[in-house]
Structure 1
């Protein structure tokens, strides 16, 4: 190879590029270390020998990039080694060979992604020069690269760095020119919200994507499952109730393994420890992250407990330890407000497996945030719950009954009003059947004696 290159150096400038390119097929016909070594020598001479010239060097390197991209080397490991070696030679001359370097980086990222080396592939793409002054790169192309980097980083759960590139992609989202990029960006939005613990937002985005026909059916089922998981982990309150209602009405959720906990949360049933443990097995590591109790809450809980009687059998927990723990406790607190008119701090603590002071602190925060209707009597150490008529009506509609004409409210409990809605709905159905029968549109079957 050295002798052939010496002969090429002696040629005129216009003949050097064709002569160098003619060596490529001969080199690629070899295998193993000899192929890598000879190609290294050829590329190094074209890039670093002043006698070759920039124009001839670019022509040779473009041809090398082209044949590598077309799969001239079938062995993936050998091809990766060649691409990495070529990239190492050319990278110091990035200013002169920017387009060729970017193409090599895309190829290397593809190879790394095939081997599921997600973070390494993302770092290779991060090295691509997208804001160069030498050539103009369309915003749509930049968006595709940023979205791909985010997707790769999230595969290794590097959500912090992924969010940085997601923010860059968000600035270019308007330039998306194809449906695939738009869908990938929306999926990144949902996953970033999931990792950032914005579970309500993530659940809505996952649920929206689960309806997209262009996405594979198995992927859509996976997104629906993710939507249910995020809805369960979201902070209890009216906003979560609306998301739960939307998912509960979706017929597809009945086939999911998390349907049991979804239905119990939507129907405001108390969740039992065994059910929570079963659901916990399906969570990802970031959804099981530990949460810290603020010093103010810890002091408030300790101060409140100091005033009450000490029960040796009572729980000593001063707050939830994980995201799931907090979501379940807040849900059970909200569910208990539909069962009781009032409850003592000690009784609520026993229900939530918290100290009485910690239970009161949780209720106070939910009341302050508008997620629980009630008041706290610290003298009698009671929490009084207020019935939310608007929320009851909304839940009735979410259950599928729609707008039902109600009788005058006599202060009956929630269950009695629900029974009234059922009776009125049944009466309306009977009225419709009688009307259709009178018109001769429906014939009632008569049982034979």
Structure 2
């Protein structure tokens, strides 16, 4: 092989390109593949490093080699992978002269690694591509495809921190994209980034939106709908989550999901039991079971014990000072919100027993939710009571049903069945009152 390469180096520039290309086909077409890798390595090193081979000839030869490797002429996948890696390593020091060929080889190597499910390795290979400079300018649409692919690969290995860096780069170019497939992949990455970043409300909304896209496979749409329900359940309790839950609850497709039971209980403000939570926990991904830390201030506030003798007859207090996981926190906040629909007030100790927290931790959680506007109520620290407030609409309706005004039948907004039942009772009472009031005081009925 060395003698053959030395001979070709002495050939004129016009014949060199065709001669080297013919040698490539000869090497790859041999029945014995044992010497293919060292022979191709020697050829590439000769083309790249020797001054007797010009830059134009070098690019012509390497472009042909890259084309052959990309067309699948080499049937053995391991041999093809080795050839691509070795050729890439040989050209890399001269990347300024052969940038286009290096980029194409990197895309090929990324394809091979992705087929082998080496997600992070494939992403790192793509990160080395030169997108902002080179022999030909790369269009924004092509750059966007590369960035979205890197994000998707990193998320497969749950490397959300590095994925967010490339997602931000993609976000700057998405306005110039016209390819529907790339835009859908970007939106899916957007939802997954929010999911991994524990922005569960945003993730649920985006997953639900994607579950309606007809261009996506039906099984994938079902998977996105399931992800939307999961993120909605994990989101912080409050009005915003209630809107997402309502939207999902009204979606007729969710009734077939295995998580429908917990979705319906959360939408209807039912208290969740430990067995139901355990069943749901089995469906979560590792990042959705991440541990959460309790701040030193919250730990200090939560460690206080209730020494009030009036609480002696109340349930024994737990020793837990706060939720341990994202799911734990979501369930506790939901149960706290659900208890506000049942009770007018509750003691710190009673709420702690309901949430499996110390009285101080239960007070801390209620205080935070009230501060953030996710729970309507007030705290009486002297009597160790939490007072819950109903919505203004309910207060007004109660006043009208008591005779202070008229009750009008409201549009059905999908409210929990208990609230709708209450509204029907108020409406019936108001109608009975309207029928009875016009009777004059002197009216009398005939006897018998």
**3-state secondary structure, aligned to 2:131:** coil
8 Å CA contact 1:248, 1:263 repeated in 2: yes
Partner residue, 1:178: 179
8 Å CA contact 1:315, 1:350 repeated in 2: yes
- Give the CA deviation at 1:423: 9.5
Partner residue, 1:25: 25
User: Where does 1:360-375 land on structure 2 (aligned, <5 Å)?
Assistant: 360-375=363-378
**3-state secondary structure, aligned to 1:33:** coil
**3-state secondary structure, aligned to 1:383:** strand
Partner residue, 2:111: 110
Partner residue, 1:340: 343
1:381 aligns with 2:380: no
Partner residue, 1:15: 15
Give the distance between the partners of 2:85 and 2:394, measured in 1 at CA. Answer: 61
User: Where does 1:7-406 land on structure 2 (aligned, <5 Å)?
Assistant: 7-30=7-30, 31-132=32-133, 134-303=135-304, 305=305, 307-308=307-308, 313-390=316-393, 405-406=408-409
Partner residue, 1:5: 5
Partner residue, 1:439: none
TM-score, length basis structure 2: 0.88
Give the distance between the partners of 2:153 and 2:419, measured in 1 at CA. Answer: 53
Give the distance between the partners of 2:152 and 2:256, measured in 1 at CA. Answer: 28
Give the distance between the partners of 1:199 and 1:392, measured in 2 at CA. Answer: 32
8 Å CA contact 1:345, 1:383 repeated in 2: yes
Q: Structure 1 77/414 Cα, relative in aligned 2: closer, same or farther at 3 Å? A: closer
8 Å CA contact 1:108, 1:121 repeated in 2: yes
Q: Structure 1 422/33 Cα, relative in aligned 2: closer, same or farther at 3 Å? A: farther
- Give the CA deviation at 1:421: 3.9
TM-score, length basis structure 1: 0.87
8 Å CA contact 2:9, 2:16 repeated in 1: yes
**Cα deviation code 1:179-227 (max 9, x no counterpart):** 0000000000000000000000000000000000100111000000000
Q: Which moved more, 1:11-20 or 1:362-371?
A: 11-20
Give the distance between the partners of 1:288 and 1:179, measured in 2 at CA. Answer: 33
- Give the CA deviation at 1:5: 1.3
Runs of at least 5 residues in structure 1 that lack an aligned partner in the other structure: 394-403, 408-412, 426-449
Give the distance between the partners of 1:414 and 1:26, measured in 2 at CA. Answer: 78
Give the distance between the partners of 1:382 and 1:178, measured in 2 at CA. Answer: 58
8 Å CA contact 1:238, 1:391 repeated in 2: no
8 Å CA contact 2:100, 2:135 repeated in 1: no
8 Å CA contact 1:290, 1:323 repeated in 2: yes
Give the distance between the partners of 1:110 and 1:76, measured in 2 at CA. Answer: 11
Give the distance between the partners of 1:391 and 1:82, measured in 2 at CA. Answer: 73
Q: Structure 1 283/152 Cα, relative in aligned 2: closer, same or farther at 3 Å? A: same
8 Å CA contact 2:316, 2:353 repeated in 1: no
Give the distance between the partners of 2:166 and 2:16, measured in 1 at CA. Answer: 42
Give the distance between the partners of 1:336 and 1:382, measured in 2 at CA. Answer: 14
Partner residue, 2:435: none
- Give the CA deviation at 1:268: 0.3
Give the distance between the partners of 2:300 and 2:246, measured in 1 at CA. Answer: 37
8 Å CA contact 2:232, 2:245 repeated in 1: yes
8 Å CA contact 2:10, 2:52 repeated in 1: no
**3-state secondary structure, aligned to 2:35:** helix
Q: Structure 1 227/390 Cα, relative in aligned 2: closer, same or farther at 3 Å? A: farther
Runs of at least 5 residues in structure 2 that lack an aligned partner in the other structure: 397-406, 411-415, 429-448
- Give the CA deviation at 1:47: 0.7
User: Where does 1:431-442 land on structure 2 (aligned, <5 Å)?
Assistant: none
Give the distance between the partners of 1:91 and 1:66, measured in 2 at CA. Answer: 18
8 Å CA contact 1:202, 1:227 repeated in 2: yes
Q: Structure 1 156/391 Cα, relative in aligned 2: closer, same or farther at 3 Å? A: farther
CA RMSD of aligned residues (A): 2.1
- Give the CA deviation at 1:391: 8.3
Give the distance between the partners of 1:58 and 1:392, measured in 2 at CA. Answer: 79
User: Where does 1:414-429 land on structure 2 (aligned, <5 Å)?
Assistant: 415=418, 418-421=421-424
Say how many residue pairs are matched. 409
**Cα deviation code 1:5-36 (max 9, x no counterpart):** 12211111111111111111111112433111
**3-state secondary structure, aligned to 2:342:** coil
Give the distance between the partners of 1:290 and 1:25, measured in 2 at CA. Answer: 57
Give the distance between the partners of 2:11 and 2:33, measured in 1 at CA. Answer: 30
